[in-house]
Structures are given as C-alpha cells and as structure tokens.
Amino acid sequence: MSIIVHHLEESRSQRVLWLMEELGLDYAVKRYSRNPQTRLAPPELKELHPLGKSPVVEKNGRIYAESGAIVEYFAETEAHGALSVLPGDPARAEYLYWLHFAEGSAMLPLLLKLYVGMLGENGAPLMQMRIDPEIANHLSFMNSAMEGKDFFAAGRFTAADIEMSFVLDAGASRGGLENYPNLVRVRAGYQSRPAYQRALEKGGPYKMGA
C-alpha cells in the first residue's frame, strides 16, 4: 500500500482519515497513543518529522505534514480534485479562506484554553479577559457565516469542511456549541456522512467527536 496515515489518537489526524475515506483512497493507518500523563505524542513520530506531531502522511516514501497542507494537497491531486475548489473557480478564494482559517485563526484561542486551563486559578484572569471572549468571537463569526448553509465553501462539500470539522470538535469539547445552532447542525451533517463513520472505525476512539 503506498499511502500510510500516521494517526495519533484524539487528534487532527482524524481529518486526514476522513479525507482519505471521502476520496476513496487505498491507505493504511498506523495508530499512535498519547502519553497518558502529558498527552503528548510518542517519540516515534519524531522519526518521521522533526516536530513529532500528527498528522503525518507517507506516500511512496515521501513525508507530508501539517493538516491543512495535507488536506489541500491530497484534495487537489486525488479524485480529479472533486473535493477541492481549483484555480479559476469563483469560489476558490472562499475555499482557501476557510481551509486556512481553521488552523491560522480558529484553533489558537481553543488551544490557549487547553493550555491556560492547566494553570487552574492562576490562568483564570487570562481565560476570562481574553481567551473565552476570543473563542466566542470566532465561533459567533462561524455561526453567522453558516446561516442557511451546510458547507463552508462553494455550496458543496469540500476539503475546507474537513479542515473546519476539527475546529467544531475542539469547540464542542472546550466549552460547547450550544449557543451556535448552525455549527451544531453543520457538525451533525458531517458526522452523518458514511465516509466520516468509516474514518472513525479506522482511527479508533475519538471522544472529541462526541
């Protein structure tokens, strides 16, 4: 098999498994567990890429890292670009916007919540003054953008939805999406896709998807 997805439990590599399933590619999964104390990835991942993070994809001996880049590259080059919005399409800018917004903007306050939360009471002022309002700022914006829509770009399911799905999962697990009904609806639509279900089977337990 020429494609191997190096999948860390409860991580962004869930996106890549889902992408592989949506594209109908033949691939193998190598699963990695997090350190139960630190929740960090095991050192073996550093043998594939210096950062030692997931996702990493290996294809014909070449290594691909960074989930957005993986999703963009494979969507563009596989299945005749069916999940991509290719250059020349009027929706291309909107597609790239959401594809990059996921890691470039939306994940930062959600990650800060995770890390600053580890400080307990010491982190509470920062959480209240800056992090929680920034999460609300981003989720409210996404919720408004999804009014009357099921997909983030081009009026159809694209790789941008796959990239954004992890933001919705992180939002759901770090504060909840109750105030954002459009995001709840969009996320339920993703989860009902057969390829999404198959990706869950391939990757093993994914509590963030609950």
Ligand X SMILES: N[C@@H](CCC(=O)N[C@@H](CS)C(=O)NCC(=O)O)C(=O)O
- Residues contributing to the site for ligand X (CB under 6 A): 8, 11-12, 40-41, 52-55, 66-68, 103
Nearest approach in angstroms of CB 66 to ligand X is 5
Q: Which is nearer to ligand X, 51 or 129 (CB)?
A: 51
Q: Which is nearer to ligand X, 62 or 80 (CB)?
A: 62
**Residue whose C-alpha is closest to residue 158's, from 87, 70, 99:** 99
Say if residue 181 is preceded by a cis peptide, omega within 30 of 0: no
Q: Which is nearer to ligand X, 3 or 41 (CB)?
A: 41
Nearest approach in angstroms of CB 68 to ligand X is 6
Strand 56-59 with 28-32, pairing: unpaired
Are the C-beta atoms of residues 47 and 35 closer than 8 Å to each other? no
Q: Which is nearer to ligand X, 28 or 114 (CB)?
A: 114
**C-alpha 173, offset from chain centre:** 13
Nearest approach in angstroms of CB 33 to ligand X is 11
Please classify residue 182 by burial: count the beta carbons closer than 10 Å to its beta carbon, then call 0-12 exposed, 13-18 middle and 19+ buried: middle
Nearest approach in angstroms of CB 88 to ligand X is 27
